[in-house]
A and B are shown apart, each in its own frame.
Chain A
Amino acid sequence: MTNIVEFRNVRKSYGQVEVLKDVSLSVPKGSVVALIGRSGSGKSTALRCVNGLETIQGGELHVCGRRLHEPGTDLRSLRKDVGIVFQSYNLFPHKTVEENITLSPRLTKGLSKAQAKEVAQLVLAQVGLSEKANAYPEQLSGGQQQRVAIARSLAMEPELMLFDEVTSALDPELTGEVLKTIEALARQGMSMILVTHEMSFAKRVANQIVFMHHGVVWETGDGSMFDDPKTPELRNFVGNGL
């Protein structure tokens, strides 16, 4: 299978509320897919299903060769392959930048302290924060914290990266530095799914854009779909976004 992620008729509800209704979409290896849509459209839920933070109730979900719809999926092994970055960074406040990054490689991959430090230097250089290794998260700006969070995920050497509205808590200036980091990753061929409200960014970076509405994939296309929306809902959404 050349698709790193494949949703087939996925359903998910919280109690009575159906959040995902019959979602089908696929992410080819090495490609970037942007999920867009209003709050409550199900895009974040779909993303969280990919690394098993949410379980699905119907359909099939294939991620990195694993079948998440089947019970007994080894979520820990899945999460070594799938990194996620959150809107609120979620760095560990009691650890330095370097400790944040080296924690999991040491615990889950058995790296020595020296090896893990090397990895940390590598990923910090990648996000342009080499000089911040010994800082604590609270000493960094929001944009820097978010780049550390990206570095922390990269240190696991994932096959797939998930970004959940990672710039929504940042002001425009800081948003730029985070988006640049993500764009650089995309150029290196990292497979990614991003939930975003940055339409121009989605248009520029994503190979495929998925517009979700009321828990279903409403419209998909490449960047040109914004110029010529097929559905009134997307037209409306894009109109409001400008």
Chain B
Amino acid sequence: MNTSLSLAHYLLILQGAGWTIILSLMGFVGGTIVGLPIALGRISKSALLRRSLAAYIALIQGIPLPILMFLCYFGISVMGFNLPALVAAGLAMTAYASAYLAEIWRGSLQSVPNAQWEAAECLALTRFQRMTHVILPQAVKISIPPTIGFLVQIVKNTSYAVVIGFAELTYTARLINNSTFKPFIVFSIAAALYFALCYPLSHYARRLERKLKRA
């Protein structure tokens, strides 16, 4: 009985891992581009802006990621755009990541003591200068561990792209299992690959935290 997978299977699953990385990066980069302005807007003086952004965050956080994937994939194609699964998954990950990253960063910005704002204000700095020279550098330091922690969530949650047939790691693992019927081996390999992606991130987050604490 043939108990091992063929080389082609291994290559396929590695390729799936590659797409998982690409989708994670899309989610993180997109989530940063959208989420950072939202975080800043959440502490703006305009109550209208704060409330509309809070509504966006509540909406995204209240929708399961697979549904976001379906919405991006089928919902947008209903409107006449035919999106490849990669783009749809990237959009869904961007929306998902932006809502959570915005909240992490809003929390980081707000955990810089108010007295720091006041001190900067009393030194005649503009709101923008206060933000860039005094608040952001301190907030970045506070935000790094939770941000990288969330990066691990992004990597793991790309697996939901399986629902729209995007060939990331979970999808390819399932594909290979369907043809080889070796679920334990196949999904163990997938688990090991996910772990190999996520563990260095959490390890790096801890190291960075210690390093920044010293600085």
Binding site for B on A (CB under 8 A): 51, 53, 76-77, 79-80, 83-84, 86, 88, 90-94, 103-104, 107-108, 152-153, 156
Contacts and interface: CB of A to CB of B under 8 A. Distances in A.
A5 B11 CA distance: 78
Given A53-B118, A88-B115, A94 B124 contact: no
A107 B115 contact: no
Contacts of A80: 124
Interface stretch (B69-77, B132-140, B143-151): B132-140
9 contacts: A53-B122, A77-B124, A79-B124, A92-B119, A94-B215, A107-B125, A107-B129, A108-B124, A153-B123
Given A90-B116, A156-B124, 14 more contacts: A76-B124, A76-B126, A77-B124, A79-B124, A80-B124, A86-B115, A86-B118, A86-B119, A92-B116, A92-B120, A94-B137, A104-B125, A107-B129, A156-B123
A76 B123 CA distance: 8
A93 B123 CA distance: 16
Interface size range of chain B in the complex: 10 to 19
Interface string B158-183: 00000000000000000000000000
Contacts of A88: 115
Main secondary structure of the interface of B (DSSP, over half): helix
B207 interface: no
A53 B120 CA distance: 12
A79 B122 contact: yes
Contact of B133 (A51, A90, A103, A156): A103
Interface of B: 115-116, 118-126, 129, 133-134, 137-138, 141, 215
Contacts of A153: 123
- Most chain B beta-carbon neighbours within 10 Å: one of A76, A91, A93, A94: A94
Contacts of A107: 125, 129, 133
A169 to B, nearest CB: 12
Contact of A90 (B118, B126, B129, B137): B118
Main secondary structure of the interface of A (DSSP, over half): mixed
A38 B116 CA distance: 26
Contacts of B116: 90, 92
Given A103-B133, A107-B129, A107-B133, A90 B124 contact: no
Given A103-B133, A107-B129, A79 B119 contact: no
Contact of A108 (B119, B125, B137): B125
Nearest to A84: B122
Contact of B123 (A53, A77, A79, A94): A79
Contacts of B134: 92, 103
A108 B115 contact: no
Contacts of B120: 92
B129 A94 contact: no
Given A88-B115, A90-B115, A51 B125 contact: no
A108 B123 contact: yes
Nearest to B129: A107
A156 to B, nearest CB: 7
Nearest to A108: B124
A103 B115 contact: no
Nearest to B136: A94
Contacts of B124: 76-77, 79-80, 104, 108, 156
- Most chain A beta-carbon neighbours within 10 Å: one of B115, B129, B133, B138: B133
A72 to B, nearest CB: 17
Nearest to A87: B115
A145 to B, nearest CB: 12
A88 B118 CA distance: 12
A79 B118 CA distance: 12
A112 to B, nearest CB: 17
